Amino acid sequence: MKQATIYSIAQMCGVSAATVSRAFSRPEVVNADVRERIHATARELGYRPNKAARGLATGRTGTIGLLVHDITNPFCPPLVRAIQRAAAEMEASVMLVDAEESAAAEIGLIKQLRGQVDGLLIASPRSSSELKGAAEGLPAVVVNRRMRGFPAVVCDNTVALTDAGRHLEELGHRRVALLCGPSSSWAARQRAATVRAWAQGTRVTLVELGAFPASFEGGREATPALVASGATAAFAFDDLMACGVLSGLAEAGVRTPAGCSVVGCDDVLLARAVTPALTTISAPMDRLGQAAVDALRRRMAGEQVRDVRLEGTLTLRGSTGRPV
């Protein structure tokens, strides 16, 4: 059987070879029905575009960049997988780089990616003012943060965190701690503002503690202040910090949830693996990754892209209960 080419695909689909070529190199300019027919025929024939040749012809690499602030954070792997799956649907590869929690490193990594990728997804960046200059001329979308000058895809936890606050109040908690995350984190500021807004006008006294590192160790570091505060429940910035709090409370002889209820955020795998399992805010990771890639694809096509907002949901588990 002869190897499939754009010419054999064009003949089967009743279109020109140029149309077949554009369906792979510039899919946004080809009618959706025609594009899908071409791709389906290509799959049937086992055709694989030559990325190197296509890159020479179009000036595109067929690769998108993904910058994460800390690959060891459990929030990142599910997001990376979701983005990779969505990118595969548009026949793009993903080049992953890790800033290792360094705002300064983010700028250098973005500059290194220029010329190697067609577009860039920037997940939960810590830097701000210099980011726009570093990415100038490169189509880019920010994930899990809003920044001026970039379209953003974010998980909005406002409703879910408010639901979590009401849940704690209904359980009878009247003194609740807010364990703040890093001041450089946009998500930490947004989550703290939401919890403050919920507490206003309720019968609950909110005690703010921190900022603490967004890590397991940060949660353990926060535990002595939490115990000393007299709070019977706590909001942790994220699940990793919340799991550190569970560990610290157990070491201090405080039972969860009887002695102190704990609420996390993000619903990473660790939240389901600890004992008791963590009440948390679940993020729609698959949809987040798909929306991010779709937004970047439109930016790469020169389109104007509006911010995309997806909602998190409250997931109740064993780490919250009535105070004793």
Among 89-103, 106-120, 213-227, which range has the highest average pLDDT? 213-227
Higher local confidence (pLDDT), 199 or 50: 199
pLDDT, average across residues 233-259 = 97
pLDDT category at 122 given cuts 50, 70, 90 is very high
pLDDT of 56 > 80? The answer is no
> Do the beta carbons of residue 23 and residue 15 sit within 8 Å?
no
| Whether domain 156-283 has CATH 3.30.43.10 | no
pLDDT, average across residues 132-146 = 88
| pLDDT of amino acid 266 | 95
Contacts (Cβ under 8 Å, ≥6 apart) of 36: none
Which value, in Å, is the radius of gyration of the alpha carbons in the chain? Answer: 23
Share of the chain above pLDDT 70, in %: 95
| pLDDT of amino acid 4 | 81
**Quick one: which H or E segment has residue 161?**
helix 158-171
- Tokens standing for residue 313: 């949901």
Q: How many helices (H) and strands (E) does the chain have?
A: 13, 12
Q: What is the pTM of this model?
A: 0.79
Q: What is the CATH code for 6-58?
A: 1.10.260.40
Higher local confidence (pLDDT), 278 or 60: 278
Q: What is the rounded average pLDDT for all residues in the chain?
A: 90
| pLDDT of amino acid 2 | 60
pLDDT category at 160 given cuts 50, 70, 90 is very high
pLDDT, average across residues 6-16 = 90
| pLDDT of amino acid 161 | 97
| pLDDT of amino acid 57 | 47
pLDDT of 55 > 60? The answer is no
pLDDT, average across residues 19-37 = 86
Angle at 27 between CA 284 and CA 16, to 5 degrees: 150
| Coil/strand/helix, residue 235 | strand
Contacts (Cβ under 8 Å, ≥6 apart) of 146: 152, 154, 186, 307
Of 131-140, 170-179, 261-270, least confident by mean pLDDT is 131-140
Q: Cα 160 from chain centroid?
A: 16
Positive or negative: CA dihedral 252, 256, 260, 263: positive
Of 102-111, 152-161, 200-209, least confident by mean pLDDT is 102-111
Q: What is the domain partition of the chain in residue ranges?
A: 6-58, 63-155+285-311, 156-283
Distance, CA of 281 to CA of 168 (rounded, Å): 14
pLDDT digits (tens, 9 = 90+) for 285-295: 999 999 999 99
Q: Which CATH class is domain 63-155+285-311?
A: alpha beta
pLDDT of 1 > 70? The answer is no
Contacts (Cβ under 8 Å, ≥6 apart) of 200: none
Higher local confidence (pLDDT), 62 or 82: 82
pLDDT, average across residues 9-21 = 90
What's the 3-state SS for 190-233?
HHHHHHHHHHCCCCCEEEEECCCCCCHHHHHHHHHHHHHHCCCE
pLDDT category at 60 given cuts 50, 70, 90 is low
Distance, CA of 197 to CA of 158 (rounded, Å): 10
DSSP state string for 33-61 = HHHHHHHHHHHHHT----HHHHHHHHS--
pLDDT digits (tens, 9 = 90+) for 64-111: 999 998 999 899 999 999 999 999 888 789 999 999 888 888 888 998
> Do the beta carbons of residue 244 and residue 226 sit within 8 Å?
no
| pLDDT of amino acid 104 | 83
CB atoms within 10 A of CB 23: 26
Identical fold at 63-155+285-311 and 156-283? yes
Beta bridge mates, 234: 177, 262
DSSP state string for 12-24 = HHTS-HHHHHHHH
- Side chain identity at residue 155, one-letter code: C
